[in-house]
Chain A
């Protein structure tokens, strides 16, 4: 009979201990999800406030209006006469108009190729030297020729030109003002800001002839409507989920809704009644946008350079005209002009639920951390289990105890009888699991390369082919590997342990940078911690056997949540063209520095692959 002493040391070897971690992991995931749903409540979210006292948003009189409307109309006619022409002609005429205002103007050509599509054009920009300034800082007013929806941004460009002329007459600017009109909304601003910091590749973008000081803030104007608008839609997401300083957003909201009386909306929530449901929806939309990390406007390219930027977009039918939008921009620029230091006071990591409600990272981070920690808990549990000697089967435990299986242990005058099996030291065979984990993670570079370098027409089919390949790939790999070495349960446990450890570590780190991506990947990869060898004492060292039902369920669940299937399903649900989405991702990789594909292909997919190999029928 085994002697069981009820001390903590004996508890360490208690087989019931290892039953807890799966429930603990599940509890962590549930708490993580529930935490997120608690955030929109009033007790857990906060009102927005202006942290940088120098900004003083909405405290200045704005004088834009009057005869500026006539000038705006003239510039709008000019813009309309340029519609449909070549980018070179457009840029040349725009820089002529800017020169006629009295500014120094120049153009910049760029040419990018991604997924077989060519993104090229010519940006026109002008620098308004602050009359009494010292050329060390600059703020930028951007208007893209076509906005994110592909519509011509007529009023926006005309407004930028009118504001350039209006700003020239003021002598109170402490920073230079750069007026930038890009050919499109994504590649153009990226080319310009890369060249401004001299980090462009010479064959993609020309260097800039005119430069000013360090960029302090960027405001993008987007008004493709030809009628009066109702409210301003503020877009603030940047590349890789990086967000601008909350003070800039708060200033724009304070000016638009406070001083000018124009409503403000965000995350395409046109009607926001400040109910729990709408707050949650805004927050989740923000999380999706942040998780995907793509460019959501011309401002997105500036944010990775630590330059805070937002886009003001006119939406709806109402009675606010372009002069109202011009006054908003003027007031925002006056606030930016007041800045003594770079934006540093307010939050850089936040989730907005409404124009004046937010949660900061200290409040929302635990939810993604819990989801990531669940993998680590399972990894630790698996490690402990791999160190345990394999137990006898339940059927043959007590009856066949023989003399030779029990040892006598003498220590300090005490004598005990201990089964030999308990004293056996289990050597962990680390090489194969570690090598496999590393190999699979490097294997992720293959789909990464393929999806970033395929033409757009072939992308959808490639994805479908990849999804089909994923069904057979785990079984194939399992067969190949077991052809070389045996995949004992011990090795499988260690394989899963290292894979989950790596996944937990990576997701926990990613949560500090891109909370939403870590949370989403953690949720989608959550089944990985529950498939595999059951955490029970009834394991033999015979070939591993999962219950057949458990194995089937695990396989189905895993294949339903494999990365390509998820991508296809999401595209289907949101009605987006798969090829266009993947081409967008390839563009992001080549041009904007988007790194979401690295997480999907090199972290999630290899972890999924390892999980699928463990439960594959090939073993």
Chain B
């Protein structure tokens, strides 16, 4: 009995020791101006380092965990993004830009290896395995698309100093990758509830990929909190999207935005010409009512892992609307309103569906989002097929504080920048010297067909000014087989990554990440029909020449009267003669035998 008691107590203790939530999920909704909605889904899974290394996978999926172990990856960040974040209208990026990547696929990882070559090999293994897991073309991240940034990325996990010295950071991007449902499905399969319950049941390929901007991210990192003795491995999956409410509300079987009937048009009646024939439309998109099933197509089906989470169940769904706005929620959910922060959070019912609806409000007010610390946009200058230029406009909106950041660009090898033409000027007063703007340059030149250019600039922009960063480049002509099937579209240049340094004076400030859009570089294309032309022409020439010379050498002309005429009787006679000879030979043999 005592043994049983001891066993039971130790079990309880063990359970209590692991009573920290091993899985939590959170949905944050925030209406944006012009009838848009920012939805952030966040899923966190924990596992102790011990159980991870012993391959006891519970909430961290085995498929991903084993890949990371095989490729000796200590920290992985994988991003799938599409669309574009409109900083002027929507403000600062969610999560300070830490959970988003450039258009397409972006992956960076800290890989443990002794040498750089070993790290590259493991990196390739990692990418190929991830490519299979996520149905994305990550296997195209080869040495031409991989860089080792120096200043741009810092490990967010806790690594011991000895392991840090063996860790290599490798970063790869695929700007051309189109993100779609085949990437969402494996992403959802990594979750414990697999998209069937909890907030992940809202994620639907039709709505997610109709969004104006969406980003799916996976972060795996080791964390060693002070409260515990051992380290844990934390996997965080995030889906951010900006949905257009009016577009999402269109029924699935009739998504065409037909012009509204004339009586449903909302007109500006203050205009002098306003009548039944002329209607100056007013944009009322920000004042419409919406609900979760309108926007996502279905309500939330229960909550995920409610039985496994002990103690108070955490609030899973939060929405940021002004305090006076009305929000209706379905039965069985518990609401908590915070008067100071305009947050309203709900605990999901265990088994029932959760629905939330916002009716049309009197005031159009949308809570202002924090303003971004920097605006960045990048574009090509010049035209033609030989050379061009890149221009980046970096605007510091703050009136009194300068902003300093790292500007990281990775260019393909066939885009050859001339670094001596790199110029940074204040757009309004071009006379200010360049040394004050570009503090340092880290430049790794390209090697043809092996690696691209890596450029990291430390830039400081004075308050309330715009810096215009320009440099010229030359385009290379590729070999005939190096062009993709849509050669005349052009080649994608990866977005520039901007990392704002944390303010040294403020201990709680963190690094903020920004990304520009990708660029389309049009290269001169050869005439792809030329190999065919050459083959046809040379074959014809050879055939004619060979035929003629062969005839000249071999053909013999004889007079017509010298030619033996052909008669069937003669041929028959000859054949008969041959047969007779053979017969004679046989008969002679027979005679010899009989003799």
Contact = CB atoms under 8 A, between A and B. Distances in A.
A102 B247 CA distance: 14
Contact of B382 (A67, A131, A171, A199): A199
Contacts of B517: 134-136, 213
A319 to B, nearest CB: 19
Given A73-B278, A213-B519, A213-B520, A169 B257 contact: yes
Contact of A71 (B83, B281, B379): B281
A342 interface: yes
B196 interface: no
A377 to B, nearest CB: 29
Contacts of A136: 490, 492, 517-520
A214 interface: yes
B103 interface: yes
Contacts of A199: 381-383
Given A132-B210, A134-B84, A136-B520, A74 B271 contact: yes
A171 B244 contact: yes
Contacts of A344: 488, 525
A23 B209 CA distance: 72
Contacts of A78: 280
Nearest to A61: B256
Contacts of B525: 344
Contacts of A170: 257
Interface stretch (B56-64, B259-267, B350-358): B259-267
Contacts of B278: 70, 73-74, 76-77
Nearest to B517: A135
A102 B273 contact: no
Interface string A466-487: 0000000000000000000000
B486 A67 contact: no
A14 interface: no
Contacts of A341: 486-489
A74 B279 CA distance: 5
Contact of A67 (B104, B265, B383, B490): B265
B212 A66 contact: no
Contacts of B247: 131, 169, 171
Nearest to B487: A341
A37 B450 CA distance: 56
A78 B278 CA distance: 11
Contact of A101 (B103, B274, B283): B283
B561 interface: no
Nearest to A54: B486
Interface string B267-286: 10001111011111111010
B342 interface: no
Interface in A43-67: 63-67
Nearest to B256: A63
B518 A171 contact: no
A131 B391 CA distance: 24
Interface in A119-152: 129, 131-137
A306 interface: yes
Interface residues of A, number: 43
B265 A71 contact: yes
Interface string A492-518: 000000000000000000000000000
Nearest to B521: A214
A129, A171, A199: most-surrounded residue (chain B CB, <10 A): A171
Nearest to B214: A132
Given A66-B259, A132-B82, A214-B520, A198 B488 contact: no
A131 B212 contact: yes
Contacts of B212: 129, 131-132
A428 interface: no
Nearest to B468: A207
Contacts of A71: 265, 279-281
A70 B490 CA distance: 41
Nearest to B519: A136
A134 B273 contact: no
A171 B82 CA distance: 13
Contacts of A340: 486, 489
A264 to B, nearest CB: 26
Contacts of A135: 84, 517-518
A100 B283 contact: yes
Nearest to A75: B280
B34, B104, B278, B518: most-surrounded residue (chain A CB, <10 A): B278
Contacts of A104: 88-89
B82 A134 contact: yes
A197 interface: yes
Contacts of A171: 210, 244, 247
Nearest to A80: B273
Given A77-B273, A78-B280, A67 B256 contact: no
A348 interface: no
A166 interface: yes
A70 B84 contact: no
A340 B489 CA distance: 6
A198 B378 CA distance: 13
Nearest to A167: B257
Contacts of B473: none
B590 interface: no
A341 B489 CA distance: 4
B259 A67 contact: yes
A134 B86 CA distance: 12
B21 to A, nearest CB: 36
B398 interface: no
Given A63-B258, A100-B283, A197 B489 contact: no
Interface in B10-49: 34
A214 B82 CA distance: 18
B381 A198 contact: yes
A214 B259 contact: no
Nearest to B492: A136
A521 B37 CA distance: 64
Contact of A342 (B83, B259, B279, B490): B490
Given A63-B256, A132-B212, A170-B257, A70 B262 contact: yes
Nearest to A73: B278
Nearest to B244: A131
B389 A198 contact: yes
Contacts of A211: 377, 379
A211 B267 CA distance: 31
Interface in A189-210: 197-199
A197 B34 CA distance: 31
B262 A66 contact: yes
A131 B83 contact: yes
Contact of A65 (B256, B259, B285): B259
B380 interface: yes
A214 B488 contact: no
B240 to A, nearest CB: 15
Contact of B83 (A70, A132, A165, A214): A132
Contacts of B490: 136, 214, 342
A211 B516 CA distance: 13
Interface string B376-417: 010111110000010100000000000000000000000000
A76 B277 CA distance: 12
Nearest to A66: B259
Nearest to A344: B488
B522 interface: yes
A102 B246 CA distance: 13
12 contacts: A63-B257, A66-B261, A70-B262, A70-B276, A74-B273, A77-B273, A102-B285, A132-B82, A170-B257, A199-B383, A306-B383, A342-B489
Given A74-B271, A132-B82, 16 more contacts: A66-B261, A67-B279, A74-B273, A77-B278, A101-B283, A102-B285, A132-B210, A132-B212, A136-B519, A166-B259, A171-B247, A197-B381, A199-B382, A211-B379, A214-B380, A214-B520
Give the 5 A-B CB pairs with smallest separation, nearest first. Answer: A198-B381, A73-B278, A341-B488, A169-B257, A136-B520
Interface of A: 63-68, 70-71, 73-78, 100-102, 104, 129, 131-137, 165-166, 169-171, 197-199, 211, 213-214, 305-306, 340-342, 344
